[in-house]
């Protein structure tokens, strides 16, 4: 992955993260759906709050791993006895 591709991917992830933050804020500010039938009523979120928070956590971790300076590489060493 080139540096430019990496920066574009980080920008896309940040945009998605902002959308998830906005959705979480809407849910916490009362973004619920209410139903009523007679004397009974039900209230629920349109999306599960834990799902939103898990997605936020995953995006933050992915952004952090992409922004880290060092790239992890596997190196194998084979000792030889000449």
Give the pLDDT of residue 70. Answer: 63
Give the pLDDT of residue 72. Answer: 65
Q: Is the pLDDT of residue 27 over 90?
A: no
Q: Is the pLDDT of residue 73 over 90?
A: no
pTM comes to 0.63
31 pLDDT band (50/70/90 cuts)?
Answer: low
For residues 18-23, give the mean pLDDT.
92
Sorted by sequence, the CB contacts under 8 Å of residue 1 that are 6+ apart come out as 9
Cα Rg of the chain, angstroms: 22
Cα torsion at 11, 17, 18, 24 (round to 10°)?
Answer: 180
């Amino acid at each position: 992955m080139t540096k430019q591709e990496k920066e574009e991917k980080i920008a896309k992830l940040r945009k998605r993260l902002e959308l998830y933050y906005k959705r979480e804020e809407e849910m916490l500010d009362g973004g619920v759906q209410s139903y009523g039938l007679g004397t009974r009523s039900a209230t629920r979120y349109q999306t599960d709050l834990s799902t939103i928070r898990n997605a936020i956590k995953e995006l933050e971790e992915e952004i952090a791993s992409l922004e880290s300076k060092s790239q992890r590489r596997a190196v194998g060493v084979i000792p030889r006895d000449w």
